[in-house]
Amino acid sequence: MRIVIAGILGGIVMFVWGALAHTALPLGQQGMHLGTPSKATLSALAQDSAGAGAGIYMLPSPTNEVMGDEKAMEAFAAEHGKDAYAFVVYQPGGNPAMTDMGPNLIRQFGSDTLAALLAAFVMSLGALGFGKRVMIAGTMGLFSWLTTNVPYWNWYGFPLDFTVAGLIELLVGWLLAGAAMAWWLGRKGR
């Protein structure tokens, strides 16, 4: 039961930190260019992705047939290798979070809490002190950044400032959540 409580406590801390990082600090907007969406751009995406629907689009990108043909890939790379590039999350039905963030917040809290439950479990595996438990949580945050954010920067061209902001958010968040969980797990009279 103490692992469950530590996980819930860690999930709360991580959720609150994430909210602060995205509302009070500029971490959530690093590398993003926010503004009024261009109707012409959205209209072009709707036409270009006709029939494909919601998804992630890399523009320009070869078709599966071209990807399977070495010579066709060489020709595609020669033609488009210097073109502008876009990585677009396309939702033709709009972004539901714009009108109701409730479901997104619930999913985020659930995700943070499940991750914190996993961290609390790992932190409880040995007779460790407070500092080592906090470092385990911080290491888990660093691990998640290295296996998600860095590949997005490397392969898909995500901006470096976006990637570094992700490091700060994950590392600080998991160190804070780790401190709360380590405190709970180390209490006497468990």
Report the alpha-carbon distance of residue 170 to residue 137 in Å, rounded. 10
A 10 A CB-CB count for 113 gives 19
Query: 23 with 65, same domain?
Result: no
Q: How many domains does the chain have?
A: 2
Domain-embedded: residue 190: no
Query: 63 with 11, same domain?
Result: no
Query: 108 with 180, same domain?
Result: yes
Domain-embedded: residue 173: yes
Cβ(149)–Cβ(178) under 8 Å? no
Pull the structure tokens for residue 189.
């009279």
Report the alpha-carbon distance of residue 110 to residue 142 in Å, rounded. 20
**Of 75, 90, 105, the domain-final residue:** 90
The position carrying tokens 């990585």 is 87
The percent of residues above 90 in pLDDT, for the chain, comes to 51
- Cβ neighbours for 161, distance < 8 A, ≥ 6 positions apart: 30, 31
Query: 102 with 178, same domain?
Result: yes
Query: 120 with 83, same domain?
Result: no
**pLDDT recorded at residue 141:** 96
Global pTM reads: 0.83
Pull the structure tokens for residue 155.
């392969």
Query: 11 with 84, same domain?
Result: no
**pLDDT recorded at residue 4:** 96
pLDDT bin (cut points 50, 70, 90) of residue 39 is confident
Query: 83 with 8, same domain?
Result: no
- Cβ neighbours for 90, distance < 8 A, ≥ 6 positions apart: 45, 49, 54, 55, 56, 57
pLDDT single digits (tens) 136-169: 999 999 999 999 999 999 998 899 999 999 999 9
Query: 102 with 143, same domain?
Result: yes
Hey, what amino acid is at 132? K
CA-angle at 111, arms to 122 and 93, nearest 5°: 160
Query: 11 with 56, same domain?
Result: no
Domain-embedded: residue 21: yes
pLDDT single digits (tens) 52-99: 677 888 888 888 888 888 888 888 888 888 888 888 887 877 787 778
pLDDT single digits (tens) 1-18: 999 999 999 999 999 999
**pLDDT recorded at residue 48:** 63
Domain-embedded: residue 115: yes
Domain-embedded: residue 120: yes
- Cβ neighbours for 120, distance < 8 A, ≥ 6 positions apart: 3, 4, 6, 7, 10, 181, 185
Domain that includes residue 70, residue range:
39-90
60 preceded by a cis bond (ω within 30 of 0): yes
Domain-embedded: residue 145: yes
pLDDT single digits (tens) 88-133: 887 877 787 778 888 889 999 999 999 999 999 999 998 899 999 9
86 forms beta bridges with 59
Q: Where would I find the beta strands (DSSP E) of 33-171?
A: 55-59, 86-90
Query: 80 with 130, same domain?
Result: no
Query: 119 with 179, same domain?
Result: yes
Domain-embedded: residue 48: yes
Query: 139 with 47, same domain?
Result: no
Provide φ and ψ at 188, rounded to 5°: -80, 155
